[in-house]
Structures are given as structure tokens and as C-alpha cells.
Homo-oligomer: A and B are copies of this chain.
Amino acid sequence: MTLSFNPELDLTITRIIKAPRSAVWKAWTQRALFEQWWVPAPAKCRIVAMDLAPGGAFVTRISENGGDFQPHLDACFLAVDDQRRLVFTNALTGGWRPAEQPFMTAVIALSDHADGTDYTAHVMHKSNADRSMHEEMGFHDGWGTVARQLAELVEGKA
């Protein structure tokens, strides 16, 4: 389906990644690669579940400052379109069950670009208040940092 951007409710980051879509997709969907960029360094990421299908669980944990791994994301995939798009939400958990703390749906879109891949992370909220909270929590810094880490990994600069 075609999604439209609502500036009152949504946040977006885009980045041109100098690598083909296939490489970006691989870094998103292969666990050993994904864990290298999904949280801002030096924090570490561990995948608990990454069931790449509609309804599949998507659960990650994070370790900051060398501490124990703590809950990070507990979400559910909604769409997995090979090398084109991933959609997931934390309004649902794996198996499409309603979640305790719903907040956002993310659409990760990859399209061809003269220099490689046009990479977009589009994040939808239920209200302007939630959008503002996410922005104040550091959306642009956080999602921007990990998009940079993803780019550096697939561009061979990591």
C-alpha cells in the first residue's frame, strides 16, 4: 500500500547509502550484520527474535556501558518486501498480539539512487504528542546515528 507522510504525526530520516539495495537489505536481514549497526556504538545489540514475515516477532536487546542486556525493541513485522521495504510496529508483539506499550510503526524503504540506495526510515505515531516526545527523546540523533552506522558497514568503512 502507498503510505503518505503526515508532518503532524510522523518523523522521517533519509540517507543516500553508497551501496546497492541488495547490500543494505542484507545488513538489515542477516543477524550478524544487523547487530553491528542497530544501536549507537559503543552500546551493543543482541537479536532475540527476527522472524522476517508478516506477524513475525522482532525483538532486540541493548547493552550500554558494558552492562547487562536490557529490553530495547519488542515489535512485530507487518510487511517484508524483498529488497524494497520492511514495516514493523511496537503496537503489536510477535503473532500480531496487542502490545503493552504501543508507540510507533516504522517503514524502512529502499529505492535505487544514482549513487547507490535511497534509504528512508519513516516513523508513524498516533498523535502529535507522541511525535513530539519521540523527537525530544532524540529521534533524529538516534535513527540518524544508526543509519550512518548502517551506511558505514555496507560502504566498507566500518
B-binding residues in A (CB < 8 A): 1, 3-4, 9, 51, 53-56, 78-79, 87, 89, 91-92, 95-100, 102-105, 107, 124-127, 130
Which of B53, B89, B96, B130 is A87 in contact with, Cβ under 8 Å? B96
How far is B102's CA from A105's CA once the two chains are assembled, in angstroms? 14
Q: Which residues of B contact A79 (CB under 8 A)?
A: 54-55
How far is B99's CA from A79's CA once the two chains are assembled, in angstroms? 18
CB of A78 within 8 A of CB of B98, answer no
A99, A103, A126 — most chain B CB neighbours (10 Å): A126
Minimum CB–CB distance from A78 to chain B (whole Å) comes to 6
Which of B53, B89, B92, B107 is A1 in contact with, Cβ under 8 Å? B53
How far is B98's CA from A127's CA once the two chains are assembled, in angstroms? 9
CB of A92 within 8 A of CB of B92, answer yes
Q: Which residues of B contact A105 (CB under 8 A)?
A: 92, 96-98
Q: Which residue of B lies closest to A92 (CB)?
A: B91
Minimum CB–CB distance from A109 to chain B (whole Å) comes to 13
A54, A95, A130 — most chain B CB neighbours (10 Å): A95
